[in-house]
A and B are shown apart, each in its own frame.
Chain A
């Protein structure tokens, strides 16, 4: 069963996304900020990471760079409400595989995750 790591400071979003992914055959781990995400990535090596940008302690762009430095092949989908073009470009440049705008469309989340993990 593919493993997804959900990184978001909002418990509400983690709950919603966890439910969606578990109902569609994924195992799920969670982290509530960028620092915890990097730690969790080292521990569980997820198949895909869903990563928010605006978070306390460490933001998503910094966490993305940290994850990519550990595993350049890491599959990361940015899931954020911040859609400013310059930020999207920065995330793609830092190695993000996809960029989804909140509020998250369940079909788009599943399509993106499936595409990246091949399930």
Chain B
């Protein structure tokens, strides 16, 4: 990340042009954090979960919204967890409705096909996946960097509302002047079912700088991760 300084030396603007080395480092740490989440979700559901290779990119909110609709007509169901502390940002999961109902049936021990709409208990089960995702990502990050951050209680919403909240948060708090979010994304697939979940981690640009700083301080930058 390049920083532009004022004459007095105060950082006034973070331009989001990461070096290849920094980008690789961030990609590695976020991908490993995502792997730890995939493992714990797999344990919870009792099904093997496959995770696509995580992609890290700068993404406009329009693009994010397009992806989160999962290219289907029916809005997907989103679970968001806010990270606060040394690391700020969001962890978000998006379930196409069919995937959501399948995951709910797995978690509640129902026969496949039982759920056809979102009940309070089903929503609570999806939220628990969001809770685990946020907590285990931050657990991993704490182990790797000694940075401490806490997840908020998970919130369930339609994908459009989640995207609006993300945009509002990043628009309001990010001092970088960048109108794009740094997004790590992957797809979690359940081996026994043809259902997918989109899993996103969206740290603020300031938090990315904090992570890079912590990795450099701990000497973990040299091997590209932990």
Contact = CB atoms under 8 A, between A and B. Distances in A.
Interface of A: 9-13, 15, 54-56, 80-87, 102-103
Interface in B90-112: 107-108
B62 interface: no
Contact of A103 (B43, B108, B148): B43
Contacts of A84: 138-139, 142, 148
B150 A15 contact: no
A85 B147 CA distance: 11
A81 B131 contact: yes
Contact of A82 (B40, B120, B127, B151): B151
A13 B139 CA distance: 20
Contact of A54 (B40, B131, B143): B131
A34 to B, nearest CB: 11
Interface size of B as a range: 20 to 34
Contacts of A86: 142, 148
A56 B121 contact: no
Given A55-B153, A83-B136, A103-B132, 15 more contacts: A9-B153, A12-B121, A12-B127, A12-B128, A54-B135, A54-B152, A56-B153, A81-B131, A81-B132, A82-B150, A84-B139, A84-B148, A85-B143, A87-B148, A87-B150
B178 interface: no
A33 to B, nearest CB: 9
B124 interface: yes
Secondary structure call for the A interface: loop
Nearest to A82: B135
Contact of B153 (A12, A15, A54, A103): A54
Nearest to B127: A10
B144 to A, nearest CB: 11
Shortest beta-carbon contacts, A-B, top 10:
A81-B135, A12-B124, A103-B44, A84-B142, A11-B124, A12-B125, A83-B139, A82-B135, A56-B153, A81-B132
Nearest to B81: A54
Contact of B151 (A13, A15, A54, A56): A54
A89 B78 CA distance: 33
Contacts of B43: 103
A10 B126 CA distance: 10
A13 B128 contact: yes
A86 B71 CA distance: 42
B132 A11 contact: no
14 contacts: A9-B153, A10-B124, A10-B128, A10-B131, A11-B120, A12-B124, A13-B124, A55-B153, A81-B40, A81-B131, A82-B150, A84-B139, A103-B44, A103-B132
A84 B107 CA distance: 26
Contacts of A82: 135, 138-139, 150-151
Interface in B199-215: none
A103 B43 CA distance: 7
